[in-house]
Amino acid sequence: MSNKELNHRERLEVCLNGDAPDRVPVALWRHFPVDDQSAEGLAALVIAFQQMYDFDFVKVTSSSSFWVKDWGVEDAWRGSVEGTTEITRFPIQHPEDWEKLIVLDPKKGEYAAHIKSLKLMTKVLGADTPIIQTVFSPLLQARNLVSREKLLAHMRRYPDAFKRGIQTITESTCRFVEAAMQTGIAGIFYGVQHADYHYLSKTEYLEYGMPFDRLVMQPAVDAWFNMVHLHGEDIMFDLFTDFPMHAVNWHDRDTYPSLAEAKQLFKGVVCGGLQRQKTMLLGTPETITQEAKDAIKTTDGKRFILGTGCVLPITTPHGNIMAARASVE
Q: Flag whether pLDDT at 167 surpasses 60.
A: yes
Task: Output the pLDDT for position 287.
Answer: 98
What are the chain's domains?
Answer: 8-326 (3.20.20.210)
Residue 125 has pLDDT above 70, yes or no: yes
142-163 pLDDT per residue, tens = 999 999 999 999 999 999 999 9
Rounded mean pLDDT of the chain? Answer: 97
Cβ-in-10-Å burial (0-12, 13-18, 19+) of 244 comes to middle
Of all residues in the chain, what percent carry a pLDDT higher than 70? 99
Q: Which of these, 26, 69, 29, lies nearest to 46 by C-alpha position?
A: 29
CB atoms within 10 A of CB 238: 12
Angle between helices 159-181 and 148-157 (to 10 degrees): 120
Q: How far apart are CA 133 and CA 227, in angstroms?
A: 10
The neighbour count for residue 3, using CB atoms within 10 Å, is 5
Whether residue 1 has pLDDT greater than 70: no
Report the Cα 157 to chain-centroid distance in Å.
30
- Using CA atoms, how far apart are residues 318 and 303, in angstroms rounded to an integer? 27
Give me the pLDDT at residue 73, please. Answer: 98
Strands 227-230 and 131-136: unpaired
Q: In this structure, what is the dihedral angle of CA atoms 234, 255, 271, 211, given to the nearest 10 degrees? A: -10
Q: Is it the case that residue 2 has pLDDT exceeding 50?
A: no
Mean pLDDT of 181-209: 98
Kindly list the distances between the CA atom of residue 319 and the CA atoms of 47, 174, 217, 287, in Å, as whole numbers in the listed order: 19, 39, 36, 12
Centre a 10 Å sphere on the Cβ of residue 184 and count the other Cβ atoms it contains. 15
pLDDT digits (tens, 9 = 90+) for 16-30: 999 999 999 999 999
H or E stretch covering 272? strand 269-274
Residue 250 binned pLDDT confidence (cut-offs 50, 70, 90) = very high
Report the C-alpha gap between 74 and 26 in whole angstroms.
Answer: 35
User: What is the reported pTM?
Assistant: 0.97
Q: How many residues does the chain have?
A: 329
Interhelix angle 285-299/318-326, rounded to 10 degrees, is 30
The Cα–Cα gap between 153 and 243 comes to: 28
Angle at CA of residue 62, ends 30 and 143, nearest 5°: 105
Q: What is the pLDDT of residues 257-298, one digit of tens each?
A: 999 999 999 999 999 999 999 999 999 999 999 999 999 999
pLDDT of residue 3: 59
